[in-house]
Amino acid sequence: MAYKDLQEFIHKLKSNNLLIEIEEEVNKDLEITEIANRIMKSNHQNMALLFNHVKDSPYPLLINAFGSLERMSLALEVDNLKHISRDIKAFMDLSNYKTLSKQIKALPKLSRLYFSFPRKKNKGACQEVIEEPNLDLIPILKCWPEDGGRFFTLPLVITKDPETKQQNMGMYRMQVYNNKTTGMHWHWHKDGREIYDKYRKLGITKMPVSVVVGADPATVYAATAPLPKMIDEMMFASFLRKRSLPIVKCITNDLYVPANAEFIFEGYVDIDEDLRLEGPFGDHTGYYSLPDMYPTFHIEKITRKKKPVFHATIVGIPPMEDCYLALASEVIFLPLLQMTVPEIVDLHMPFEGVFHNCAITSIKKHFPKHAHKIMNSFWGTGQMMNQKLICAVDENKDIRNYQDIFWTIINNVNLYEDIVINEGPLDALDHSSKKAYFGSKLGIDATKKLHEESNYNFSLEKEYLFPENLKKESILNELQTHFSFVADIRLPQDDIYNKLLIIKIIKTTKDDIINLNDFLRKHNSLKFIKWITINDQFTDITKDWQLFWRFFNNIDAKRDLYFSDVFNNNFRFTVVTVDATKKLPIENGNRNWPNDIVMDEDIRKLVDEKWLKYGFDEEIA
């Protein structure tokens, strides 16, 4: 049975001991973020949080409701998210409808489609109270110290295409400017921006917009889902709920909104109004997204329940709550991707890749360079076009076993033949390219090679390429003798051979990388290390997750991969040095490099002091 609303889901979380209610008064500026960030990253206290007393607001606030695989499954009312993808695949499989007997068997399944259409109502709980806008009373969070202000972080933004009349429901952050206006973060590649541009082209100056905060969990998820344009998000929410989503017409415009919502913010965007500076914002990349110009949303009315709950999230250095929303999409929409690329066995986007910086796929390989075909298919499909790195492995690989995948790449990739570097669109939040929205992409073919596609002999790497049993102390001492900015090194191994060297430097100029790499690739032994990565003072190279997170975020493949050829016993080998450091403006097309997201020390101390008052265990205070 579908959840009636968000509050019924809260009760479900509570009854399953998956929610902590906090009675201590908390501040919406930074304090809630610091609490939630610790809980989201906790191994034993990662639970949903309900703050019942937010300073200067009469409304409770829910956060981290979706922040685990268990809670995400509970939100969508399945034991396993794969059950949803299985249902989608069964609906799309035409072989299920080819014979009369199969059609009869399919009737119970097809009856679900009846409930996949939203149901219009004359009134809804979301309109129990109708009032003038005053955002000062709403517990909208200031998430991070350098944020441009307070932000709606889980808004369901509803608009209508002026040509097709189809509604769209997407999730776009909204910065509060005053008690009646916010920014509307419609950037390129998003449906909201496309609809906004249509209004402009048609000369319609007032664009109706309604924003929902606090819908039932399936509807919240549907707003984040990477749906094809022709599929209405509320229809998809109804499909997930297995029951029609009740919707009601807004008070001030013709848009329809979920009748079960906690808050509705009705208003408009003035197409002729000048764009306004929005940001910075501590984003899901773990960095602050830089300020830019966006439309302004004017709120005309707020409608709500009599006793609503405000729904929010925070994003930042992963893992965070949003990772599990992305994980759900990864599982649920695999069948749709397999319709166009049937060779795909599985797909995974590691949390450290922040959804658009890394995708690992296992494939059924049938012909030479098949992996290259898969990469190009991804880069030409929907939001997958923004993927900065795609790695293809064989179908027998567990793509969630990161250690195995990592060493498969180190051992199975011929850097001369198996690396693809293309150029194309990048996510608006990518900061590593010299030009916004556009840069280079990296493809890695880590599949086993067919005889027809390569005669490269990997056994020769062990015989003539890799050094053996290098000593950290002696290498570090030698490097520091020549370069005072070298701070530390690491030599990960999966056997006796040294295939990878990780270096940490205190970077001050662009020449640091060039000079260091030139030395390394002329060194008698170090030049034979197949992979060398150079990280800066902001990275803890002892932590694998940080190395991957920096690598995925900080590289532009065309600029930051330095390939070299080395020779031994008349055999040629290709090696690479990767610059995973923060780039200076002179290296990055004069684009500013965003700051890491870090909480203020005084807020951390405050939360330390109040930790037990919140009702948590002492261990992660």
DSSP-derived secondary structure for 570-618: TEEEEEEEEE-SPPPGGGTTTPPPPPBP---HHHHHHHHHHHHHHT--S
pLDDT tops 90 at residue 107: no
Taking residues 217-232, what's their average pLDDT? 91
Taking residues 123-129, what's their average pLDDT? 97
Per CATH, 322-445 and 459-587 having the same topology is answered: yes
CA dihedral 502, 393, 494, 468 (to 10 degrees): -70
Determine phi and psi for 40, rounding to 5 degrees.
-60, -30
Catalytic residue among 283, 322, 418, 512: 283
pLDDT tops 80 at residue 24: yes
pLDDT digits (tens, 9 = 90+) for 600-613: 999 999 999 999 99
Q: Is 283 a residue of the active site? A: yes
Classify residue 437 as left (phi > 0), alpha (psi -120 to 50) or beta. Answer: left
pLDDT tops 90 at residue 592: no
- The band of 98, judged by pLDDT with boundaries at 50, 70 and 90, is very low
> What's the mean per-residue pLDDT of the chain?
92
User: What is the domain partition of the chain in residue ranges?
Assistant: 6-79+115-311, 322-445, 459-587
pLDDT digits (tens, 9 = 90+) for 279-292: 999 999 999 999 99
Q: Which CATH architecture has domain 322-445?
A: 3-Layer(aba) Sandwich (3.40)
CA 291 to chain centre: 19
Q: Which CATH superfamily is domain 459-587 in?
A: UbiD C-terminal domain-like (3.40.1670.10)
State the Cα–Cα distance between residues 195 and 186, nearest whole angstrom.
10
pLDDT tops 60 at residue 342: yes
Q: Which CATH architecture has domain 6-79+115-311?
A: Roll (2.30)
3 state SS for 46-76: CCEEEECCECCCCCCEEECCCCCHHHHHHHC
Strand 561-568 with 61-63, pairing: unpaired
Taking residues 586-599, what's their average pLDDT? 89
The conformation of residue 307, written as its DSSP 8-state character, comes to: S
DSSP string, 113-159: HHTTS-EEES--GGGSEEE---GGGS--BB-STT-SS-EESS-EEEE
pLDDT digits (tens, 9 = 90+) for 364-387: 999 999 999 999 999 988 888 899
Burial group, residue 572, by CB count within 10 angstroms (0-12, 13-18, 19+)? exposed
pLDDT at 559: 94
Percentage of the residues of the chain whose pLDDT score is greater than 90 = 79
pLDDT tops 90 at residue 419: yes
Of 91, 104, 87, 125, whose CA–CA distance to 7 is shortest? 125
pLDDT digits (tens, 9 = 90+) for 292-340: 999 999 999 999 999 999 999 999 999 999 999 999 999 999 988 898 8
State the Cα–Cα distance between residues 479 and 124, nearest whole angstrom.
69
The H-assigned helical ranges of 435-510 are 459-460, 472-482
State the Cα–Cα distance between residues 553 and 431, nearest whole angstrom.
8
- The band of 617, judged by pLDDT with boundaries at 50, 70 and 90, is confident
pLDDT at 97: 42
Burial group, residue 393, by CB count within 10 angstroms (0-12, 13-18, 19+)? buried
pLDDT tops 90 at residue 86: no
Determine phi and psi for 493, rounding to 5 degrees.
-140, 150
